[in-house]
Structure 1
């Protein structure tokens, strides 16, 4: 069977299967986000060595209920990052190995006829977990890739006319190989736009590779992970991030940056209005991880590349000139004045 489902964790205590949400928890502040978020990042960092920026971006995605696309060549630790983050927060995690013969029902679930009851019974697929690891997502056909569209945006699944809500928090961590590699399909633009951010892990430096060899001789680092949070805590952290203040001047700054991608001559299709929301949420999460209850322009600038670059469709001339989405975002950032003193 093409699908591999690995439910590593039982349902957390207090989760209601009817609505997929945990029992209410007390409000948390930015201090809790910085403390617990830092421990999550440190835990993941025990597995993904020497990539603090990548790990931090993964935590930002978790704290915004966004989704993360990890794009790199095989063997750089894409799947390890995804599984380490899932285990660090002790929530149900499923893994789907995307292959050309994978069907949409293998992802979302299907209605199965029960002969004894003479009725159809819904069998949930692997998306009914808090963290879904979509491994090598661009090896499946576009039809199967599109099965995730409703899940990622609306956090629900509709099968045979019936809608089923997904658990909270819900996060898709997708890995993919570069599209130039054999046997891959480009992700549809609508799906790329649903990912909060894209990152590339890259090769480790020699010292990190030596440490990696020493740390994996006897045991897999994933087996040593001790969870530092649970689903209810993560949900409370997400609510705390949403309360971080974004000054009116910074709201306009975010809109200007995203709008600027639509007028660049190298771009056929710029970032969408959804990108405005994603960039603002990511900046709030970055501020909270630093222990601040307000966003600074630096938060927006640091995250503009990971949040916006993968959404841009460049012209043929831009590709011929070896321009990338990141290059375009940097150019856009240079066009707008940085707001000063935007806190209150």
Structure 2
């Protein structure tokens, strides 16, 4: 079943209200909020590589509050153990039975702060939950409820004592972006005390049942074959680019299509257009590229590569609406 125009308008209206609600806390960051919402509605996860103090925790809490969800924050440190995230089985002497005590991963939105500071084993425990949607403790599966979004953060300015996420694990994140500093006008509003309510004081916009309906609706957005051909050509262009050692994977291509469907619905359309793909190419594919070391030394970035790929890969000119 394909999404109808009326359903697309309904989708955009609710999503717009969520974004506006979160923007009361995170002033002037509508684009990042929309990406975060798109990641959640696409059943993926978000990686934020940003300097401290830009509002990453506020984003997670405000988004969870807006949908009547729960949020947890895990500060990743070298001594953090997998069980500290997933939970542990505890023996109850009174009952003589083992009971599972849930870890912080059992929440609607989990903020994994400075994920690259934990050991690879602990990182893998979180990434397994992200991929599988459940935790396995002592052979027993414990499902995490949908919607489920992990917002992981990395600090790009301090690398001492960190464990860099391997490229194969970076590929597990649907998107990678940054919040960045607010512009001058937003900074002035913040300093004047006009930053709006704290995230914990926000009024919810919708409930989790509605969010689940949005997730289901996003899957039904129409994607014309010319769009999938365009995505395939973009992905193939990353693999043959002279500055790229390893291009985007098939998982990356699937992620781009899935995100484009959600993004189109956010815009109030029941079909994907090339502009939806263009808007998402960098956050969805950029972190999946492994650049040539010499090119990277010369200042080439994933962002510049994706910009060049977009310029050199012509979009479809055929009509894609239904």
Segments of structure 2 that go 5 or more residues without pairing to the other structure are 1-5
Please point out which of 131, 134, 142 is paired with 1:153.
131
Q: Tell whether 2:82 aligns with 1:104.
A: yes
CA distance in 2, matches of 1:258, 1:269: 11
- Structure 2 counterpart SS, 1:29: helix
Q: Tell whether 2:204 aligns with 1:201.
A: no
Please point out which of 270, 289, 305 is paired with 1:328.
305
| 1:201 positional shift | 1.3
Q: Tell whether 2:94 aligns with 1:113.
A: no
* Corresponding residue of 1:56: 34
- Structure 2 counterpart SS, 1:186: coil
CA distance in 1, matches of 2:191, 2:277: 37
* Corresponding residue of 2:17: 39
* Corresponding residue of 1:21: none
Alignment of 1:1-344 (within 5 A): 29-178=7-156, 180-215=158-193, 221-340=198-317, 341-344=319-322
1:215 touches 1:221 (CA, 8 Å); kept in 2?
A: no
1:70 touches 1:201 (CA, 8 Å); kept in 2?
A: yes
- Structure 2 counterpart SS, 1:191: helix
| 1:294 positional shift | 0.3
CA distance in 1, matches of 2:240, 2:203: 47
| 1:179 positional shift | 6.2
Runs of 4+ in 1 over 4 A off after TM superposition: none
After superposition, the Cα gap between the structure-2 partners of 1:157 and 1:223, relative to the gap in structure 1 and judged at 3 Å, is: closer
CA distance in 2, matches of 1:93, 1:206: 30
After superposition, the Cα gap between the structure-2 partners of 1:268 and 1:92, relative to the gap in structure 1 and judged at 3 Å, is: same
1:179 touches 1:185 (CA, 8 Å); kept in 2?
A: no
CA distance in 2, matches of 1:179, 1:322: 17
Residues 259-317 of structure 1, C-alpha deviations (whole Å, 9 max, x = no match): 22122222222222111121111111111011100000000011000101011111111
Aligned length: 316
| 1:113 positional shift | 1.9
- Structure 2 counterpart SS, 1:175: strand
2:60 touches 2:71 (CA, 8 Å); kept in 1?
A: no
Task: Point out the more displaced range, 164-173 or 325-334.
Answer: 325-334
Give the root-mean-square deviation of aligned CA atoms: 1.7
Normalising by structure 1, report the TM-score. Answer: 0.87
After superposition, the Cα gap between the structure-2 partners of 1:115 and 1:56, relative to the gap in structure 1 and judged at 3 Å, is: same
CA distance in 1, matches of 2:258, 2:158: 32
Segments of structure 1 that go 5 or more residues without pairing to the other structure are 1-27
Task: Point out the more displaced range, 276-285 or 187-196.
Answer: 187-196
CA distance in 2, matches of 1:299, 1:166: 30
CA distance in 2, matches of 1:242, 1:165: 22
